[in-house]
Structure 1
Amino acid sequence: MPRKKKSRKIGQIGTPLAPKANRKPAPASPKRNKKTLGKPSGTRNNPEQTSSQSRPSKVQKDPRVGSKKPIPLIVDDKPKARVTKPKFFSPAQELESIEQNERFGMLLEKLDSEVALSREERAFVNKLTARHQELCDLLGISNDDGSMADAGNSENSTDDDLYDQFESIDINKFK
């Protein structure tokens, strides 16, 4: 067996190409522009330039995220006057505060002297008189002269009346 010396050259693999002189040139296709992906360079630093060129007629939207509510930089020393309804611990305290109300007393004196009251003053008087009447009924106080005569009756009947009155109280009115 004859021996062949090993070589690093590789023989032809596959089919050979035709010589360059005999080849047909590939048809020239028209060049087309590549689609660009993303935004052009510099848009991060100059966002108003690109948006103003593309849509000049639209109103520009504020690019900031979050609340647009203005924050006062100077703090006012005087607090805003806020009228809060006083809360009372018992009906007796509320009744006492109504009876000691100076404005209410002055308006009642005007009514007694038959002076005309404004619409707001009448509403105020009506509101307080209605609440005063409710509290008097709740506490068992009556303005009638006959109440003194009823107090002289038997002690059992007044105890039963007080118990019935206590059971009829609606606790939700005091919340």
Structure 2
Amino acid sequence: MKQPARESQKKPAAKAKRKTRDEINTEARDRKRDKKHRGHASGSRANPVATSKKSGEGAKDKDPRIGSKKPIALGAAAAAAQPAKKAKPVKAAEEKKPRLSPEEELAKLENDERLDLLLDRLENGETLKAEDQAWLDQTLDRIDVLMEQLGIALDDDVEDEEAEEDMYRLLKGGK
């Protein structure tokens, strides 16, 4: 077998040239100069760079160091001088609705589909949920109030009077 040729017989590669002290110092100065120019420019906090806004509102740029300009009262007397905030009434949404006349409101309630459905379910002997029962009672009470305002008498009153007259006749022994 033949032995491979030695590599040492080839020409040796050129050694890396060793840098002199002056070259090392100049490279270090260059690196230091590059590091020095990183970050914000001097005085950038006091004089922030104006950024262009696309919204076009024309509002002045605010200084990021300055907070609210709202005056704050100091001391115990100032705390007592502040008026207490009033709670908004819960029924504010109802006041905004236009008020209906009693006739219009009664007609609207009588034509209500939910009311009809719940009354039909009651007539069929079904039990209603507490929420539905409460709404039904409230609606029927409102209908009674509106009918009293309008002077409309229920037919139930007439039937009751006739029944009383019939009972009176039976007790007297009449026909």
TM-score category of the 2 structures, normalised to the smaller one: 0.3 to 0.5
* Higher-helix-fraction structure: 2
TM-score, normalised on structure 2?
Answer: 0.37
TM-score, normalised on structure 1?
Answer: 0.37
